[in-house]
Structure 1
Amino acid sequence: MNAPMETVFGLLGGLAVFLFGMNMMSEGLQKAAGRQNEVHSFPCSPRIPCSACWPAR
């Protein structure tokens, strides 16, 4: 195989491994965070405060 093709395949392979690792890491972080990482089904507002938007005083 010639040098330009090796470079292209090397870059694509490296990118694939990088993206796979980022995906694995994000899944692990989401599992470690547990329920703290869940998105509320309602928006936070001054009338309906939530602890994620306004810390307890």
Structure 2
Amino acid sequence: MFTQQKEELENFYSIILSLCLIPNTELFEKINGLAPIVKQIGDCMGPRTLEEATHKGILTAISL
């Protein structure tokens, strides 16, 4: 995946592709209002890369 090298697979039954393109707000909705400040970051707002989610987390922590 990261090296861009192709590999031929044999004897497999299925391929599962997970893209996670839908924000997961379930936890935010459960805890919203339980503390004075509850903020949405990362995949709660929309699909993010690890770098984007980490950056937003750092910025949010600094803003508190």
Structure in which a larger fraction of residues adopt helix: 1
TM > 0.5 between the two?
Answer: no
Asked which structure has the greater CA Rg, the reply is: 1
Structure 1-normalised TM-score? 0.29
Q: Which structure has more RCO (C-alpha within 8 Å, separation ≥ 6)?
A: 2
Structure 2-normalised TM-score? 0.26
